[in-house]
Structure formats: structure tokens, C-alpha cells
A = this chain, B = another copy of it.
Amino acid sequence: MKAMLLHEDRLFPSEAGALKTARALYAEIENLPIISPHGHTNAGWFANNGPFPDPATLFVQPDHYVFRMLYSQGVSLDDLGIGQQKIEDPRKVWRIFASNYYLFRGTPSRLWLDYSFQELFGFELRLSEKTADLYYDTIAEKLQTPEFLPRALYERFNIEVLSTTDSPTDSLSDHKAIRASGWKARILPAFRPDSVVDPEFVGFAGLIAKMGEQTGEDTSTWIGYLNALRKARARFREIGCTSTDHGHPTAQTADLPAAEAAALFSKALSGKTSAAENELFRAQMLTEMAQMSLEDGLTMQIHPGSVRNHNRKVFEHYGRDMGADIPAPTNFVNALRPLLDRFGNESKLTIILFMLDESTISRELAPLAGHYPCLRLGPPWWFHDSPEGMMRFRQQATETAGFYNTVGFNDDTRAFLSIPARHDVARRIDCAFLANLVAQHRLEEDEAFEVAHELTYSLVKKAYKL
């Protein structure tokens, strides 16, 4: 066991010249505020500002990066408290996690966790079976102190903006409560309409009806439905929302004549659409959303290509988001064409494309974003928001799309404590990439400093209109 969990030069190139440059770049941007424009934290944490209950509930239960790995090696989800309202014996869960901590060697989870362990809780000894109780007791105690309440951590993390992800029918009451409390943090909702644009979403028709009630529109008609979406977007914008997000199985878009779209909507509402029609409806709705973004200015994020809930039994027993969403091959070049035919040349529209299929970076995404004024490339997402994944993204995207068609980093996390750790990894990898460019004389040092600042701070604010 070592005296420190993290080395100050971690993730930097090891060759002396590049290392020196990486250190210098990082020193410049290390302390810039965190802009977190996309993620899955819970606004209720900040509205209520109650303490996190215990180490297992904080680090294991909500983090599918963590429990999926344990599960893959034969640990049962029940033994980890997954799906339980309240973990019965959190110390037992923690001990299982600790004694299997070696499984995370070489993974980004290890970097993120060690960052929290060291920076927030002051640990110097690695987590293991032997240190399990030391960790548990220390963390549990600190979580009860004022310094570890959600708002205190938010401030300590130096977060300038934090966006949550919310359903169009959400009351946004937590967001309102935060504002009403007078606390000055900038926590914003993002408009994620999957549940009301995807006929395969459980409760689709009911949620549309609910949206109709909330907006006073007759959502049984195509026009009323679109109006309701417009009003819901306006309600989000009023409270500060600047972006939408779309988690579709594919990147397919469509541009149907209005009458066909209306007929398809009616059929979808009736629940009688085929799988192909559901796909077509989702495709049409991406184009409709782009139209509305052109009107109201919301930046549009598309997260395609995940086969959700791949493990049938885990889904049936534990529900969604249990670490079993598996990427599939994604086509952008043909799929986006209907939308781009209509809006591709609009430089006032911003559509951020995310990928789970790395073969698309150099083949499709960088060429598309390096041409169409409306397109930008989101940072590596899920599985790929890792040192190697982020480095490959820069290596495969930059030469064709440049830096300025990218939009900085998203932490995209449900694990609040991992936010500074994730941004730190991203900043280090960007500095390492830039340092390598400087070392290879592909970029001058003064430019690298400017780009490092853009990648950390300016590009994300611009792309998300923050």
C-alpha cells in the first residue's frame, strides 16, 4: 500500500519534453470552474440539501459503472443492495466492494474513485479488504458533517453550471425550490422528451395526455401535440434550460409531409405501430425537435446507438439503467440526411452528436461536423469517457473536425462525487493530447494554451449557450 492514491503527473505523457508541456498546460486550466452541461444528478439533492446516508448508498448503489463490473465477476446485485429502497446492511455491501476493488485496475472508475477518496476524504491507503472498515467509518462520519452536504460539495467542486436531465412532464419543483431558497448555484434542467416521442417508452400515451393537461393543448391531435411540446420547452426555458437531449436507439431522422406525420402520430398514440413505424416516428420527432430548436434556440443533443436494457432478466428484476445498455453499430451519414437536408446549413442551430461506436469518429462524425454549420461533436460518452477513449476521440476527430467543432467535456454522471474527478481526467487527457502535438511540432505552445482554455471552458459555454 502506498502513501498517496494519485500521482500529480497521472495521465501525462512520460517523455520529458511532452511531460513538461502537459504540466504547464494543466497548471493553467486546472482550477477553471466546472461547466457540467449534461448529466444525471438529482436536483432534489440540492433542493433538500440533506446528508448522503452512507458510503454504499453514495458510491455503489447509484453507479452502474461500479456494480456492472462487480456483477460481471459473479457478485450478485442483491448483495450490492441494487434495487433496494434502503440498503439493509451498507457496511456489508461496502466490504464486498472493497475486497473486489482490484477488479477496477486499468478502468476509469478506479481513477474517479481514488480521486474522491483522496481529495474529499483524505485517504492515503488504497481501498481493499483490509482498509474496508477504515474507509467505511471515515466516509460515514464525514457524510454527516456540514462540509459534505450537497450544496457545500457543489461549492467546493467549483461548479459554475450544472445541468440535470428531465422529462417534459416533470414539475421542475426541485429546480424551483433551489431558486426559491436564494442559493446562488446555477442548476438547470435539460429537456429530454424521449418518453413522449418514443412510442416504445412505457406509458407513452399517458405521458402525452399528461403533457396535454399541463399545457392546455389537445394532444390527441398532431398540431396540439407539437404545441404542447413547444409549451413544455418554453416552461423549461423560463427556468434557465438551454438544451434538449435525445436518447434514441439510432440516429435516424425523417422529414415526412405533415399529413403523414399526423397519421403516424395517431397510430402511435393508439399503440398499433410496428417497430419500423416506431422508428420512423422517433426519426420524424428528431426533425421536429430541430425545427423547434431553430425557433427557440435550445441546443440539441443526440445520444444514439445504445441497446437499452440488453439483459432481459436484470431489466425484469431491477428495472432500467442497471449497467446493461450495450452500444450497437451506428450510422450517421445516411440517418441524419433528412434532418440535414432541412436544417444542415443553419448556423444558428446547434446539434451536438454523441457516439458509442468509435468507428464512426473518423469515418462519419468528423467529416460531418467539419462541414455542416449546425453540427458539433459531443465528447466521448459512456464506456468511452475514459483516458484511452478520450485520447482516441481527439486523435480521430481533430484532424478532420478541428478543435472548434467540439464542445468540451460532459461528465454525464449519476455519481455526484465523481464530477470533479471526471473533469480532472478529461482536462489531463486534453493537456496530454495538446502536449503531444507540441512535442511533435504540430502546434505552437502559445496556441496549445489557448486551445486548452477553449476545451475546458469556452467551447462548452458557447455550444450550450450558457
Contacts and interface: CB of A to CB of B under 8 A. Distances in A.
Interface stretch (A23-31, A155-163, A186-194, A437-445): A437-445
A385 to B, nearest CB: 9
Nearest to A322: B371
Contact of A358 (B111, B312, B359): B359
Contact of A383 (B2, B17, B362): B362
A311 B340 contact: yes
Contact of A441 (B11, B362, B370, B444): B11
Given A104-B402, A105-B443, A107-B400, A324 B10 contact: no
Interface stretch (A134-142, A274-282, A387-395): A387-395
B341 A312 contact: yes
Contacts of A400: 107, 383, 386
A152 interface: no
A40 interface: no
Interface string A390-409: 00000110111111110000
Interface string A351-375: 0000011110011101111111101
A314 interface: yes
Most chain B beta-carbon neighbours within 10 Å: one of A328, A356, A370, A384:
A370
Contacts of A371: 68, 71-72, 310-311, 323-324, 326
A173 interface: no
A42 interface: no
Interface in A420-466: 436-437, 439-444, 447, 450-451
A328 B334 contact: yes
A447 B110 CA distance: 13
Q: Which 3 A-B pairs have the closest CB atoms?
A: A7-B441, A10-B441, A74-B347
